[in-house]
Amino acid sequence: MLWINRQFDFVLPVEMYPNVIERLHGTPARLEEKLAGLTHEVLIHKPGDKWSVQEQVGHLSDVEELWHGRIDDYLNGLKELRPADITNRVTSHKNHNADSIANLLRSFRSSRKKLVEQFKQFDIQRAGLSALHPRLNNPMRVIDLAFFIAEHDDHHLVKIGEIMKAGT
């Protein structure tokens, strides 16, 4: 399923907020473990018109700016979250295959560490702050944003697994 077609019912109780933040914190390690030992050829292989493993990793790093911005939207009391570029123009233009996987992973880990720190500014009560998600046209609480990001991470981890499986 394409990410853009995914729909969400945000029903997690805010008491689950620390659990979701822990999930976000663990994504860089999960990603590094998944990619350990892959050859450069496997990492940059583009299956058809789809992204390579390195482009998937680069994309995860690219969208961190959006996540950071959306947290700022909550902190600034905005009623609607900033929209995403659903064309993924940044990822398409960055040529992540020309970079090293070590750099891509380091960049993602660094940005994700900052994101987790941003999320830690919210206690359980403030994790219930809400703003409208522009594409879904639904209210999204801070906990829902964290869950949304974790699901986005897993979506790309699955895509990476599919590329790896097809390449063997």
Q: Please give the pLDDT value at position 45.
A: 92
**Residues in CB range of 160: below 8 A, 6 or more apart:** 31, 34, 35, 53, 56, 57
pLDDT at 51 over 70: yes
Q: Please give the pLDDT value at position 116.
A: 98
pTM of this prediction?
Answer: 0.94
Q: Please give the pLDDT value at position 59.
A: 96
Fold of 13-166: Four Helix Bundle (Hemerythrin (Met), subunit A) (1.20.120)
User: pLDDT tens for residues 76-134?
Assistant: 999 999 999 988 888 988 999 999 999 999 999 999 999 999 999 999 999 999 999 99
φ and ψ at 140, to 5 degrees?
Answer: -130, 120
**Residues in CB range of 94: below 8 A, 6 or more apart:** 58, 62
DSSP 24-86: HHHHHHHHHHHHTT--HHHHH---TTS--HHHHHHHHHHTHHHHHHHHHHHHTT-SBPPPP-T
Q: Please give the pLDDT value at position 48.
A: 85
Among all chains, which residue has been given the structure tokens 């064309």? 87
Annotated domain spans of the chain: 13-166
Tokens of residue 131, six digits:
């703003």
Stronger pLDDT, 89 or 21, i.e. the higher one = 21
One-letter amino acid identity for 17?
Y
Tokens of residue 2, six digits:
């394409």
Q: Please give the pLDDT value at position 105.
A: 98
